[in-house]
Amino acid sequence: MYKLAMMGTFCVGKSALIMQFIEDCFLTEYDPTIQDFYRQQTVVDGEQCQLDIVDTTGIEAFCPMRDKSIRWGEGFLLVYAVNDRHSFENVNVLWDRLQILKGTKHVPVVLVANKVDVTNRVVHRTQGQEVARSFGIPYVETSAKTGQGVEQAFHELMGEIHRMRSEELNSDLNTKQREACGCKCCTIQ
């Protein structure tokens, strides 16, 4: 099971991305989200997986609900709209909040540039790539309207979660091996 959370300011297309991924359809009407939950079965690396997805609010008045979703989630799609500079600038604020609430800088996150189908783009690909590189996370361009990159964004995030789980498992195994050895050279003091 993968617990995913969508984060971003309002009107960036978080709900539309989820509906495109789950239902293969585009939402044409904007309906502000407070908090919605979705469940989807998918195949990752030939293995059947369940995705629990929370669509968080982009409305500042409901930040406590968003913070609760951050604590719940294990992987995050950090979404901005390429035609909305404010949503792009807010990515840094959400990134910082995510790290504070998770208590670590090692969190599975994918930076998602949505609405790449629009003609009035104000945030260019290189700007998004630069921010993703500075965070050390993958970058994916999407269009909830056309479906471009949507599946890739979700699968990229599941890959990040899988990688993080493997690293934690290896770390736990190494610790147990050192403890089982019993010699002082393997014991971390």
Give the residue with greater pLDDT, 158 vs 67: 158
What is the pLDDT averaged over residues 95-112?
Answer: 94
What is the pLDDT averaged over residues 61-78?
Answer: 83
CA dist 169 and 146 (Å) reads 38
- Tokens 């269009």 correspond to 143
Q: H or E segment at 139? A: strand 139-141
What is the pLDDT averaged over residues 64-90?
Answer: 92
CA dist 171 and 180 (Å) reads 14
Confidence of residue 129 (pLDDT cuts 50, 70, 90): very high
Average pLDDT of the chain, as a whole number: 87
Q: Are 140 and 156 in contact (CB under 8 A)?
A: yes
What is the pLDDT averaged over residues 116-140?
Answer: 98
Give the pLDDT confidence score for residue 160 in this predicted structure. 94
Specify the pTM. Answer: 0.85
What is the pLDDT averaged over residues 16-24?
Answer: 95
The closest of 139, 146, 75 to 116, measured between CA atoms, is 146
- Helix, strand, or coil (residue 176): helix
Quote the tokens at residue 56. Answer: 């968080």
What is the pLDDT averaged over residues 151-169?
Answer: 92
The domains of the chain are located at 2-186
Q: How many other CB atoms sit within 10 Å of the CB of residue 55? A: 21
Confidence of residue 177 (pLDDT cuts 50, 70, 90): low
| In the predicted structure, residue 54 carries a pLDDT above the cut 60 | yes
Give the pLDDT confidence score for residue 138 in this predicted structure. 98
- Tokens 């699968």 correspond to 155
Give the pLDDT confidence score for residue 189 in this predicted structure. 43
What is the pLDDT averaged over residues 162-184?
Answer: 69
Domain 2-186, CATH 3.30.420.480 — does that match?
no
Q: Could you give the percent of the chain with pLDDT greater than 90?
A: 63
